[in-house]
Amino acid sequence: MNPYFIFYVILALVLIIGLGIQLVPRTLPDSDEHYIGTNLTRVNKTYCEVYWLGGWDYDSFMGDIRVNDIGVGHPPPNSRIYSGACVNITVEMYDRSAQSYLRVANYTGEV
């Protein structure tokens, strides 16, 4: 058998397998990954709780979390970072790459 024939058959098989991998629909398992954010829980008309949800790559590029200009440190995901009145709650996080605080959420009394 001609060695070039075997070589071209192998190349054709690699091409077919490569195209097959790209065309087969992928099913990915559920992931806990989500964007950085918070969750406001309204207990009653005047009392609210804010939970830090964390998010994708939170540990590597975020430094500090502030609620109404009061630092709460680097809380773990799904932890309560604020409990109190339901008016004008601002949550910010320190972005190490931008070296400034970025607003994550701003809740007004109309929640």
Q: Model confidence over 77-94: pLDDT tens digits?
A: 888 999 998 888 999 988
Residue type for 73, please?
Answer: G
For 37-107, CATH gives: 2.60.40
Query: Dihedrals φ, ψ of 71, to 5°?
Result: -70, 135
40 vs 35, more confident: 40
Give residue 110's pLDDT.
Answer: 64
Helix (H) or strand (E) holding 74, with range, is: none
Query: Dihedrals φ, ψ of 47, to 5°?
Result: -115, 125
Say whether pLDDT at 32 is over 60.
no
Give residue 12's pLDDT.
Answer: 93
Q: Which residues pair with 73 in a beta bridge?
A: 65
Helix (H, G, I), strand (E, B) or coil at 22: helix
Tell me if the pTM is above 0.85: no
